[in-house]
């Protein structure tokens, strides 16, 4: 009798008790699962915002060091960023969820006329200040980022998040912005000589500065990226030697003048 009582006391859960326990576990899982999923999504969102900022910093570094702005073509901009972010190109092109990021460039980058951005490599500088030199990196954690906008209005709507933007920034969609307006500096070169001196940017080809004529100085205006090495040459072009080298760090004006016995470049 004592053996039978012992076995009775050791009996397991009944079927109803097991069903009840499983039901409680299922309810808890249903309650907790969305919270866990939301937490994971928030982690991806925060990480992607930081990743985009880092990629945009690398793109800006590329522009400053190479004096080159890549096109929106995936192969071109990802190669430029990867070289400065110390990442594989695939890690630049795709976010952690496996969706493709995109580079957008303002269709009015150079002027008020809209055009697909052709890329820019500085040689002699620009004759006019860029109209709207803005770039965006866009990443969507739910799909591939859409193709770049082809109108200035659509680009501005995404940049400002006003009106009805085709890309709506939020928890799942991240946008990093870069405005290069402050990166281009005005370079004014004036010449009082009736012969042409010259200038060159970085190690590029020498470009003549117009000669003085009719009692008026010759002049040339160019817009160049910051920290560009500027070389100015004595007249006559193209045989004049290098006068000096300097860095363009802000708007700058140089004048080719004489003290009555020799010619030289001076800041004006």
pLDDT in tens, 114-159: 999 999 999 999 999 999 999 999 999 999 999 999 999 999 999 9
Q: What is the mean pLDDT of residues 158-178?
A: 97
What pLDDT is recorded for position 1?
Answer: 46
Q: What is the mean pLDDT of residues 36-45?
A: 72
CA atoms within 13 A on the CB side of 213: 7
Asked if pLDDT for residue 3 goes beyond 70, the answer is no
What pLDDT is recorded for position 243?
Answer: 98
Describe the strand order of the beta sheet including 228-233 as a list of residue ranges.
207-208, 198-201, 228-233, 242-248
Residue by residue, DSSP assigns 104-128 as EE-TTSSSSS------EE-SS-BSS
Residues facing 139 on adjacent strands: 174
Alpha-carbon distance values, 35 to 25, 28, 210 (Å) = 16, 11, 70
pLDDT band at 23 (very low <50, low <70, confident <90, very high): confident
CATH 2.60.40 fits 184-267, yes or no: yes
**Domain boundaries in the chain?**
28-179, 184-267
Q: Residue for token digits 């800006």?
A: 60
pLDDT in tens, 53-107: 999 999 999 999 999 999 999 999 999 999 999 999 999 999 999 999 999 999 9
What pLDDT is recorded for position 12?
Answer: 63
pLDDT in tens, 200-254: 999 899 999 999 999 999 999 999 999 999 999 999 999 999 999 999 999 999 9
């Amino acid at each position: 009798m004592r053996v039978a009582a012992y076995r009775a006391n050791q009996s397991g859960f009944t079927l109803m008790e097991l069903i009840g326990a499983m039901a409680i576990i299922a309810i808890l899982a249903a309650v907790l699962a969305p919270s866990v999923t939301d937490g994971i999504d928030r982690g991806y969102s925060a990480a992607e915002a930081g990743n985009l900022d880092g990629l945009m910093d690398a793109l800006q570094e590329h522009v400053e060091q190479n004096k080159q702005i890549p096109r929106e073509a995936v192969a071109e901009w990802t190669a430029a960023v990867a070289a400065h972010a110390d990442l594989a190109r695939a890690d630049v092109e795709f976010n952690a969820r496996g969706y493709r990021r995109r580079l957008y460039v303002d269709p009015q980058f150079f002027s008020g006329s809209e055009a697909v951005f052709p890329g820019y490599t500085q040689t002699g500088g620009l004759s006019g200040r860029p109209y709207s030199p803005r770039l965006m990196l866009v990443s969507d954690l739910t799909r591939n980022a859409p193709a770049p906008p082809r109108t200035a209005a659509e680009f501005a709507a995404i940049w400002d998040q006003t009106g009805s933007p085709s890309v709506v920034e939020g928890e799942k969609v991240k946008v990093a912005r870069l405005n290069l307006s402050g990166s281009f500096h005005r370079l004014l070169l004036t010449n009082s000589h009736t012969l042409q001196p010259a200038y060159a940017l970085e190690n590029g080809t020498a470009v003549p500065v117009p000669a003085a004529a009719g009692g008026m100085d010759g002049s040339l205006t160019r817009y160049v990226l910051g920290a560009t090495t500027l070389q100015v040459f004595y007249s006559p072009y193209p045989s004049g030697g290098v006068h000096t080298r300097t860095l363009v760090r802000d708007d700058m004006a140089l004048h080719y003048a004489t003290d009555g016995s020799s010619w030289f470049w001076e800041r004006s």
